Amino acid sequence: MEGEMERKPRIRRENNFVVEENIDALKWPQQCAECGRPVEVTDTLKLEKTYKTLGKINVTVAGIPYCQEDMLRVRRGKLLERVRMILAFVIGIPLGFIGIALAANSPGTKIILFGVVMFIGVLAGYGLAWLIVKVPVKLLFKSKFADPVDGWLIEEKKKDGKEGVSVVLSIPNKEYADLFARTNGV
């Protein structure tokens, strides 16, 4: 409306974009976020996380533009990521137990160490799952998968000094990320 202040998102750019306020006012440049061709479909991210102090937070990021073909590649990419996460635990938890069994056999091991060993096991599983899933897929079927525009929530201190939630947006295509920055005045 005339005379009305335009609502603007407050964003800072680090490795990713961190949207501190007014995420609903974000503007997505109207071209495919992967290849720059005309927009055919839009994707929506539904982010949810429960915080000790702030309770359950829901944020919807709508209108992420893709061409039809890249929407498919993005869906496959997200599926692949899920497979990798599951595999990380499927491999990592037994690794953790093996580590614990080994640690339990060596004298003088404290119980507290078991948690650390399990953590290392899952971390190793995460790395192995990456090798098993991502590397071959990237080498053989790269054209069938795309890294999506992704988002997640973080808790941080806001300008007014209070704890609040910000949205981190990862935009893999550098050109599109630059365009996104200019469009939103970052």
Asked if 67 touches Zn ion (CB under 5 A), the answer is yes
179 binds Zn ion (CB under 5 A): no
Give the range of 62-70, 72-80, 86-94, 139-147 binding Zn ion by CB under 5 A. 62-70
Taking the least distance from each CB to Zn ion, the nearer of 72 and 153 is: 72
Report CA-CA distances (Å) from 32 to 120, 124, 171.
39, 36, 12
Pair of tokens at residue 41: 């479909």
Residues 82-141 contacting Zn ion, CB under 5 A: none
Q: Is 70 in the site for Zn ion (CB under 5 A)?
A: yes
Out of 9, 11, 19, 34, name the contact with Zn ion by CB under 5 A: 34
Query: Could you tell me the two tokens for 42?
Result: 């839009």
CA angle 64, 20, 67 (to 5 degrees): 10
32 Cβ contact partners less than 8 Å away, ≥ 6 residues apart = 38, 39, 40, 65, 66, 67, 70
Q: Determine the size of the site formed for Zn ion (CB under 5 A).
A: 6
Amino acid at 14: E
- Binding segment for Zn ion (CB under 5 A), chosen from 26-34, 134-142, 152-160, 171-179, is 26-34
- The yes or no reply on residue 150 touching Zn ion (CB under 5 A) is no
Minimum distance of Zn ion from residue 109's CB (angstroms): 53
User: Under the phi-then-psi rule, with left for phi > 0, alpha for psi from -120 to 50, and beta for the rest, what region is 72?
Assistant: alpha
Q: Does 54 bind Zn ion (CB under 5 A)?
A: no
Residue 43 sits in the site that holds Zn ion (CB under 5 A): no
User: CB under 5 A: which stretch of 51-59, 69-77, 78-86, 92-100 binds Zn ion?
Assistant: 69-77
Distance CA(102)–CA(91), nearest Å, equals 17
Tell me: does residue 35 bind Zn ion (CB under 5 A).
yes
Look at residues 145, 133, 137 and name the one whose alpha carbon lies nearest to residue 34: 145
CA 51 to chain centre: 18
Residue span binding Zn ion (CB under 5 A) among the ranges 27-35, 46-54, 75-83, 142-150: 27-35
The amino acid at residue 134 is K
Binding site for Zn ion (CB under 5 A): 32, 34-35, 37, 67, 70
